[in-house]
Structure 1
Amino acid sequence: MTRRRRVVAGAVAVLAATAAPGAAVAQPSPAPVAGTPVCEVRGGRLSEISGMVATDDGYVMVNDGAEDEARRRIFFLDDRCSVVRTVSFPSRPRDTEDLAVGADGTVWVADTGDNDRSRQTIAVWKLPPGADRPVLHRMAYPDGPHDAEAMLVTGDGRPVVVTKYSATLYAPDAAPRPGTTAPLVKVGQVRLPASTTSNPYGMLGRTAVTGAATAPDGRRVVLRTYADAYEFDVADGDVVAALTGGTPRIVALPDEPQGESVTYSRDGRSLLTVSETADQPPGTTPTVLRYPLPASPASPTSPAAPEATARAAGDGTGPSGAVRTYLVAAGALGLVLIAVGLVALGRARRSRTR
């Protein structure tokens, strides 16, 4: 079986296994408005951008599992998107997919991609402020491999991994340590509202989670797909409760070429995104885009500490129904349409050595 067929078959199997009889009722998407260009990433080394965070000085970015060693770096850019520093990995990462910044300024790199669902472990790399060598921390799922492209980091130093096709949340019981493999626990599942936003991958693009970010004040988090961003309010620092029980505000990200990255602006008033461009027409340059955020209603709850501890919440099922799997399609027709979307996505992504 070819790699593309394995990706299609595996993702359809995941969706079929998690299908729920009561999918979310479609709600009107916000009026799509193209993002405002901020700056262009030039130089050619950042063409598969899968993760981005904004800093006081500019941005940090990583590529998606690049074959070329010169692209397998942590890139630091200024506010004009010019690369000013790079940090090499001490060993080859498998598939870097997202970035986060902890309260102490540590950069976290999510090495969690697994298109073929064949990895025995996933990993995060931690780069403290001023360091020139990231440290590897391994983790293992409790229920077999998953493909994941989004990650958040809690205030006590625990990553929350969000799987791509089912939006399932996994986190270790304690902060991972170098030289050990931390067991992950399933802590919930996100049910995203329906969407009609135009994107290159159709229905699949509206459900596949490709990135995540935390607001500078820790009171909000956002998940993105290829089509939209979903912003959740965080009460009392409980990120998992926000994602599994909250009602998100939607920001349409229409027709981005292959949008996998999202971050908050440093003032927290906007979302910033950037797309992979490796499979776009020659001369296409990655461009950071800005999207204004809708107003956040005042919350009566106490302020949230920046990315505070994510609580374990069992297997994400229960009488409240707050963490049911969201699927746009139901039944055989839906799975066929999703398979078609996956084929298109597989063609858009270059084959990479895993």
Structure 2
Amino acid sequence: MRRAAFTAAVVAASVSLLPAPATAAVRSAEVCSIADPAVTEVSGLAVVPGGFLVENDSNPDPRRTRIFYLDEGCRVTRSVGYPTTARDPEDLAVDRSGTVWVADIGDNSPLMGGSGNRRSTIALWTLKPGAKSPKIHRLRYPDGEPRDAEALLVDGAGRPVIVTKEPGGEVYRLDTPLPTDNPEGAPLTLVGRFQPSRTGTANPLGVFGSALITGAAVSPDGTKAVVRTYSDAYEFDVTGGDVAAAITGGTPVVTPLPDEPQGEAIAYTADGNGFLTVSDQPGPVSIQHYPATRKASPAPARPAPSGAEAAPATERPALPALPGRLALLVGAFSVVGLMLVAAAARYARRR
């Protein structure tokens, strides 16, 4: 995501207004490194038989915005393109039937480094097993307003669930049949909100990194769901396949994901007992493995670390929900901040 420099400039101008984050220690292990130059800015990750599935974020060359199949050593074995331009893919998932879902849902405002041409609809792409090309399914938010989102889950009933990026992310679900090649966009239903916590986990964007929602996944057996920020993974118990209810009303256990350069993608391991992550950066980038923290009981858990490998559960005061998608920037800009923002935006456009 080429808006990283812009976002960092906004944070640099405003983070002094917010509490300084503490550092959380946790151990991750490198699985493999993606070195193929065709794979740039990975923002979605899934586990498939024999390896992994990743997708490129938006790219100045649409031909390089593709879905890539990797073997267990992170080597590209094949790739699939889109029949028409995918505007800003930000996450992906694989459902129980083996269908691949790509969430073409990114939509940064000009204030966050976007082009200014905000979209009236978003899209999901599905690639069924054996298909040579994905199908497009257009969706729209119920009030018709644009939103930036980077997190997709597919629930037990096969319904897509989208979580928007801003603090107090809105959780939307498609409650009607999935349409295909529909220019107008099928309306989503607002289910509730997911509220990250002020965890203090170290990350390049400081307290804002703990608030911005960048990815999500459902466990292979459908009993767990995880939503991540730039700094942490929030895991929920899922009952009856209702993912949206879990992440809007459940009590999560938090696994810190410290110091990832731009952590956006997350997936469950094949056995569902850990998380895989990768940063949205030009390559080479490494897929990292984290053991997932598990609840000891239905009550909010505070398990003690077991050696260096167990990630502590985190129970912190929630970040306040902010009304409106521009509330993130309230009080953040100063004259110096605006100068940094303008410079970063110019740099991003030149790339």
Contact 1:108 1:125 in 2 (8 A): yes
Q: Is the 8 A contact 2:24 2:202 kept in 1?
A: no
Select 2:257's aligned residue among 229, 247, 253: 253
Shift, 1:52, TM fit: 0.5
Task: Look up the match of 2:102.
Answer: 109
Please point out which of 209, 225, 242 is paired with 2:213.
Answer: 209
Partner residue of 2:331 out of 333, 336, 341: 336
Q: Provide the C-alpha distance between the structure 1 equivalents of 2:293 and 2:219, rounded to a whole number of angstroms.
A: 14
Q: Which residue in the other structure is 2:178 paired with?
A: 176
Displacement of 1:241 after TM fit? 1.6
Distance 1:56 1:145, change over 3 A: same
Look up the match of 1:98: 91
Correspondence 1:136-215 to 2 at 5 A: 136-143=136-143, 144-166=145-167, 167-180=169-182, 181-215=185-219
Aligned to 1:241, what secondary structure does the other structure show?
Answer: helix
Secondary structure of 1:236's match? coil
Is the 8 Å Cα contact of residues 274 and 289 (structure 1) preserved in structure 2?
yes
Tell me the percent identity. Answer: 46
Q: How does 1:303-314 map to 2 (within 5 A)?
A: none
Distance in 1 between the 2:48 and 2:194 partners?
A: 28
Unaligned regions of 5+ residues in structure 1, if any?
Answer: 13-25, 279-283, 301-322
- State the AA in 2 paired with 1:293: A
The 1:325/1:241 distance shift into structure 2, 3 A limit, reads farther
Residue 73 of structure 1 pairs with residue 72 of structure 2: no
Which whole-Å CA distance do the structure 2 matches of 1:191 and 1:243 have between them? 9
For residues 215 and 72 of structure 1, the distance between their equivalents in structure 2, rounded to whole angstroms, comes to 26
CA distance in 2 between partners of 1:333 and 1:85 (Å) = 40
1:153-199, Cα deviation, whole Å (9 max, x unpaired)? 12332211100004101112213211322111111111222210111
Moved more, 248-257 or 104-113: 248-257
1 CA distance for matches of 2:232 and 2:333?
17
Residue 15 of structure 1 corresponds to which residue in structure 2? Answer: none
Distance 1:172 1:43 in 2: 35
Letter in structure 2 aligned against 1:295: R
Confirm or deny: 8 A CA contact 2:198 2:207 kept in the other structure.
no
**Superposed CA RMSD:** 3.3
1:278-299 deviation line (CA, Å, top 9, x unaligned): 3xxxxx6210000111123366
Distance 1:170 1:352 in 2: 34
Question: Residue type of the partner of 1:174?
Answer: T
For the Cα contact (< 8 Å) 1:121–1:140, is it kept in 2? Answer: yes
2:290 aligned with 1:297: no
Q: Secondary structure at the match of 1:336?
A: coil
* Equivalence for 1:221: 225
Give the SS at the match of 2:287.
strand
Cα separation, 1, equivalents of 2:133 and 2:124: 13
Match of 2:331, SS state, is helix
CA distance in 2, matches of 1:221, 1:324: 21
Q: Classify the secondary structure of the residue corresponding to 2:150.
A: strand
Cα pair distance change 1:39/1:348, threshold 3 Å: farther
Letter in 2 for 1:152: L
SS at 2:213's partner residue? coil
Letter in 2 for 1:86: S
Q: Which letter maps to 2:290? A: Y
The answer to whether the aligner puts 1:86 opposite 2:79 as a matched pair is yes
Give the counterpart letter for 1:33 in structure 2: V
Matching residue of 1:316: none
Does residue 242 of the first structure (1) align with residue 241 of the second (2)?
A: no
Judge conservation of contact 2:173–2:244 (CA < 8 Å) in 1: no
Equivalent AA in structure 2 for residue 242 of structure 1: A
Give the superposition deviation at 1:333.
Answer: 11
Aligned length: 302
For structure 2, which runs of at least 5 residues remain unmatched after alignment? 12-18, 110-115, 300-317
Mapped to 2, the partners of 1:161 and 1:338 lie a distance apart of: 29
Return closer, same or farther for 1:333/1:205 CA change in 2, 3 Å cut-off: closer
Work out the CA distance in 2 between the residues paired with 1:172 and 1:138. Answer: 11
Contact 1:29 1:252 in 2 (8 A): no
Q: Structure 1 residues 254, 324: closer, same or farther in 2, change over 3 A?
A: closer
CA contact 1:98–1:150 (8 Å) conserved in 2: yes
Shift of 1:349: 9.2
2:136 partner amino acid: L
* Distance (Å, rounded) in 1 between the aligned partners of 2:95 and 2:178: 14
Distance 1:157 1:135 in 2: 16
Q: Residue by residue, what CA displacement relative to the aligned partner does 1:1-55 show, whole Å, maximum 9, x if unpaired? A: xx98xx88xx99xxxxxxxxxxxxx9x9894224211100011111200101111
Structure 2 length-normalised TM: 0.77
